[in-house]
A = this chain, B = another copy of it.
Amino acid sequence: MSRSEKYLTIEAVAELVGGKILQKGASDLLIKGIGSIYEAKEGEITFAAELNLAKTVLKQSGSLKASALIVPEGLDEVPFIPSVEVKNPHLALAALLNHFHKETLPSAHIDPSASVSDKATVSPDAVVGPLCVIEEGAVIEEGVWLKAQVYIGKNARVGKDSVLYPGVRLLDACAVGERCILHANAVIGSDGFGFVKDGEKQIKVLQVGNVLLGNDVEVGACTTIDRATMNTTHIKDGVKLDNLVHIAHNCIIGENSMIMALAALAGSTIFEEGVIFAGQSGTSGHITLGKGSVIVGRSGVTKNVPPGSFMSGFPLRPHAEERRIKASLTYLPDLVKRVAALEKKQKE
């Protein structure tokens, strides 16, 4: 599709984002792109994520260069520029970005510089970019895009429409579901950190399991997921992992969970569905975080977490309690002196 074929009328915008037109504008208005609120140019649409922002913006007509606006429900006046009202402006943004910017798969081909085993199966509808390696027994399904310099190990599998960025290493016997996105230099299937002490020495326990990613999983740059000692390290459908995250052997990450940058899960950690695990937090092994629990950044989790909890700290506590403790620390140095004074007076 050429660039101009992507232009949208205001009606087409409303349809795309499932919204209601508040102000229609000129009949020949065409939206040619999308920009953030202060950078969008003439011909582009922009969005105000919150009602207060929308109101403020609409009072300062001079500062807007955009030609149309997405607003949340609840405005009490008709905007001066073409506008579409939606329940969730962020979802509308996602839809518009997809419309204008989603990269289309190049024509299917295998770059001649790639090293592809003749015992691998590559769909005729996949793209294998320059200097990729695909080992024997591997399966690359239709619509997959291995961008460049990707490694696909023996008997590994990449599901339909997944994109692997340069430098991704998908190691032997590991599998990626459909519509996954693996960012640059991510490693799937490195050995679990398993050793057993024999005298002073640490003897390696071979790691013979694998890693399985469900559908719609996203894995950040330089994130590492270890294969299971035996069985499978399982990242379920819809999980999103940020950059530089470490998932140890035999972890199971429940559907639609999110793990932010530099978090580290020790072996056999289990996340139920929809867990939010913020940046630089960690777990000790063999524990379970219940469905929908939220762990604040820089926390250390060493015990099971009940479903629906909102926790922080190390040791982990309910977030409100942890906040109270952290606030009261301010008084501690003084408290030490005051208690000594009380004791002295009491003795007198």
Residues of A that sit less than 8 Å from B by CB = 34-36, 39, 88, 90-91, 93-94, 97-98, 100-102, 111, 113, 115, 129-131, 133, 135, 148-149, 151, 153, 165-167, 169, 171, 181, 183-185, 187, 190-191, 193, 195-196, 198, 200-206, 208, 216, 218, 220-222, 224, 226, 229-231, 238, 240, 242-244, 246, 248, 255-256, 258, 260-262, 264, 266, 273-274, 279-280, 282, 284, 297-298, 300, 314-315, 317, 321, 324-333, 335-336, 338-339, 342-343, 345-346
Contact A203 B94 (CB under 8 A): yes
Alpha-carbon distance between A224 and B187 when the two chains are bound, in angstroms: 14
For residue A200, which residues in chain B have a CB less than 8 angstroms away from its CB?
238, 255-256, 273-274
Contact A36 B115 (CB under 8 A): no
Most B CB atoms within 10 A — which of A111, A262, A338?
A262
For residue A183, which residues in chain B have a CB less than 8 angstroms away from its CB?
187, 190-191
Most B CB atoms within 10 A — which of A243, A260, A328?
A243
Alpha-carbon distance between A329 and B346 when the two chains are bound, in angstroms: 24
Contact B244 A246 (CB under 8 A): yes
For residue A315, which residues in chain B have a CB less than 8 angstroms away from its CB?
326
Q: A165 is contacted by which of B34, B135, B169, B258 (Cβ under 8 Å)?
A: B169
For residue A39, which residues in chain B have a CB less than 8 angstroms away from its CB?
230-231
Alpha-carbon distance between A169 and B195 when the two chains are bound, in angstroms: 24
Alpha-carbon distance between A88 and B205 when the two chains are bound, in angstroms: 13
Alpha-carbon distance between A167 and B170 when the two chains are bound, in angstroms: 11
Contact B224 A222 (CB under 8 A): yes
Alpha-carbon distance between A97 and B148 when the two chains are bound, in angstroms: 34
Q: How far is the CB of A4 from chain B (nearest CB, A)?
A: 18
Contact A196 B90 (CB under 8 A): yes
Q: A185 is contacted by which of B113, B185, B328 (Cβ under 8 Å)?
A: B185
What are 15 A-B pairs at a CB distance below 8 A? A90-B205, A93-B196, A97-B206, A133-B166, A148-B151, A151-B184, A153-B166, A167-B167, A185-B185, A187-B221, A200-B255, A284-B297, A317-B330, A325-B330, A346-B346
Q: How far is the CB of A257 from chain B (nearest CB, A)?
A: 9
For residue A153, which residues in chain B have a CB less than 8 angstroms away from its CB?
166
Alpha-carbon distance between A260 and B314 when the two chains are bound, in angstroms: 18
